[in-house]
Every structure is written in structure tokens, then in C-alpha cells.
Amino acid sequence: MYGLRYLPNIITIMRFLAMGPLVYFMLEKRYDDALLVALLAAISDGLDGFLAKRFGWAGWLGSILDPLADKFMILCCYAVLSWQGYIPVWLAVLVVFRDIIIIAGATLYHFAIGRMKQAQPTVLSKINTTMQFLFVLALLLDLAGLLDLSESWIRLLMWTVALTTVLSGVQYVWTWTRKAMQAKNAKMISGAINE
């Protein structure tokens, strides 16, 4: 039973590995196969989260790997769909730039302030991730011939993704800048008291 506690992390790693076939199918324009891989990845995301919470198998590594796997999948999809001309380049750059800012901020916080505790995603961040995935899913369904997506729907999804990406990025920067300042001030006060 002890070994089973690593099952959520194993599922997450398998989700990372699934990005190879996903990108391959998209590049080969086998969108029905790409859609299947994307859906299996989404199901596995729900499964590893359920197992981690239900059996108390959540850990620091899983809290890092799980959102990274989600982001890796979204970035792969946006990069390929942008390269193929189905997503505007500026939107793919915006999605990538937000994640680079968050990763850079987390790294800076780690080295300047200290190790971050398990970061819980905000509601806005969850909405953003959901919208980014729904946009990819809708495009894959359309490209696979399973959904006839109108231009107005594509534009609506695209601008919703852009808006939630910007807002959640600003929220992360604002929140973690405040936390860093509070932690720094607490260190200075603690240092002054100890002197």
C-alpha cells in the first residue's frame, strides 16, 4: 500500500510523456487522435487529483508536477496550433509569457525569500486554465470534423482566453509581490528584535 502513494505522481509523469504523441498527431493533422490523447490527459489530471485528495497521497512534488503537466500540455497545443495558423501568434505568446512571468517570480521568491509553501491556484487561475483548455478542445473538435465552430465562437473563446490570461497573470504578480514584501518585512522585524 505504501508504494501506491506515488501513483498520482506516476500518472502525472505519464501525462508529461503523452505530450509527445499529442504534438505528433497535431503536426500530422490527425486531430481525432490528438483529441483522444488530450481527453485522456484531462481525465488523468482529474484522476491523480482525486487519488491524492481521497487517500492523502498529496505531496510537495505532486503540487509542483501537476500544474506543470497542465501548463506543458497547454503550451504544446498553443505552440502547434499557432504554428499551423489556427491560433493567433500573439495569443500563444501571451499564454507563454504569463507562465514565464509566474515561473520567474516563483524562482525569485524561492531564492530571495525562501521555499514556497504549496501554492493553491486561485479561482481566476482555475478559470483561466479551464478556458485555455476549452479553446484547444473546441478547436480540436472542429478540426477533427466533430464540431462546426463558427468564426464568432472562435473569436469569443479567443478573447476570453486572452482576458483571463492577463487578469490571472496580474493577480499572481500582485499577490506574490505582496507576500514577498510581507515576508521580507517580517524577516527585518525579526532580525531587529534578535539584535
pLDDT in tens, 105-149: 777 776 776 666 656 678 998 899 899 999 999 999 999 999 888
Element (DSSP H or E) covering residue 72: helix 60-83
Query: 2-194 belongs to which homologous superfamily?
Result: CDP-alcohol phosphotransferase transmembrane (TM) domain (1.20.120.1760)
d(CA 119, CA 64): 9
For position 62, what pLDDT does the model report?
58
Q: Which residues of the chain have pLDDT under 50?
A: none
For position 3, what pLDDT does the model report?
58
Angle at 33 between CA 150 and CA 163, to 5 degrees: 45
> Which of 1, 9, 4, 3 lies closest to 48, judged by CA?
9
Break the chain into its structural domains and give their ranges: 2-194
pLDDT in tens, 15-24: 889 999 999 9
Coarse DSSP helix, strand, coil percentages of the chain, rounded to the nearest 5 percent: 85, 0, 15
What residues contact 71, with CB distance under 8 A and at least 6 apart?
99
The reported pTM is: 0.80
